[in-house]
Amino acid sequence: MRLRFRRAPRLATAAALFLALITLLGFVASPASLFEMLAQFRPQLAAASVVLILAALLAQRRLAAVIALAAFLANLAPLAPYLNLAAVARPASGPAFRVLTLNLHGDPRTAEKFRALVAAQNPDIILLTELPWSLDAFLGELAAAYPNQIVDRRRHSGFDVALFTRWNVKARNVDRSVSLQVPVLSTELCDPSGEAGSCLTLIGLHAARPFGLGADVQAAQFALARRLADAAKTPILLVGDLNMTPWAPSFHQLVKTLSLSDSAAGHPLTGTWFARNPLLGLPIDHILAGPGIKVLDYHVGADVGSDHFPVIASLALGAYN
């Protein structure tokens, strides 16, 4: 028993140093690198830092406590824009609309809850990924309420995307040049009200997983999204399961290159994947708005049965920075 107590201070110091190393590697990691995965887990690393601070203090290891505190502050800094607990909806000064995106995880049991979600949120634009094949009848019902749609499904792909909207579809494209399995959808949508400046370019995708060969595929998808955005003549909206958190280097590079605003910023930090467990949930589903689109409100919707939660944002078109 005494031997265990003697080891405790050393273990606290070693754990604090290991946590500091993981934190540092996440910051210096380049986009699409192996170490970028470490940056995805900032909330979990921050929580682990708090535990280590307490453990180091109990073990009377001040240096370990200081190291753990430094790791906590470093991991907390990228989370700061997402820690607002009292976000207030902003007034619209242009045509307002609502966007909903959800990864259905290929689960047909989501139909009833998803139907209720759509009825409650009444979005103008819906982007879905991982649609179950057995939901064909329901998707037909959805198409009746959202007559303009882009659905290009491949039987063996879990990364397909489908768009349903009340807005007019002016141009459409489902690009599978990166891989047949991971398309990038792009379309120009116009508000049926016909007001001047009421069009946008929506780019939707389900990004590949950011590890192994998937990291290169994901990087190629984002490169394609950037090219599509560069060619667009209207404000950009990037939507979907991007398989990365807002504090990942790839995310930072993407939003910086395209001057995108994260609709989740300024709102309470909420996971969208594995969100049933607050300690494990990560926000990897996104609605990102380019110049010319203002974020009015944002929230993560209720559980519909998928391993992802829906993301809903209220937006407005106009001359915004």
* Start-to-end CA span in the chain (Å): 63
Residue 265 has pLDDT above 80, yes or no: yes
Q: What's the pLDDT score for residue 2?
A: 44
Report which of residues 155 and 152 the model is more confident about: 152
Residue 247 lies in a domain: yes
Instruction: Return d(Cα 122, Cα 117) in angstroms, integer.
Output: 8
**Tens digit of pLDDT for each residue in 204-217?**
999 998 888 888 99
**Res 291 pLDDT > 90:** yes
Looking at the structure, tell me whether residues 120 and 208 fall in a common domain: yes
Phi and psi of 242, rounded to 5°?
A: -90, -5
Domain hosting 10: range is: 2-82
Report helix, strand or coil for 314. Answer: strand
pLDDT digits (tens, 9 = 90+) for 35-54: 888 899 999 999 999 999 99
Confidence grade of residue 263 (pLDDT, cut at 50, 70, 90): very high
CA atoms within 13 A on the CB side of 149: 17
Query: What local confidence, expressed as pLDDT, does residue 151 receive?
Result: 87
Q: Is the pLDDT confidence value at 87 over 90?
A: no
- Rounded to two decimals, the pTM is 0.90
pLDDT in tens, 90-113: 665 566 899 999 998 877 778 888
Q: Is the pLDDT of residue 321 over 70?
A: no
Is 90 within a domain? Answer: no
Do 47 and 132 sit in the same domain of this protein? no
What whole-number distance in Å separates Cα of residue 65 and Cα of residue 71?
10
Domain count, the chain: 2
- Cβ contact 190:237 at 8 Å: no
Same domain, 67 and 175: no
Same domain, yes or no: 45 and 168: no
| Whether residues 124 and 270 fall in one domain | yes
- Which pLDDT score, from 0 to 100, does residue 4 have? 47
- What confidence category does residue 77 fall into, taking pLDDT thresholds of 50, 70 and 90? very high
Rounded to whole angstroms, the Cα distance separating 72 from 48 reads 8
65 domain residue, yes or no? yes
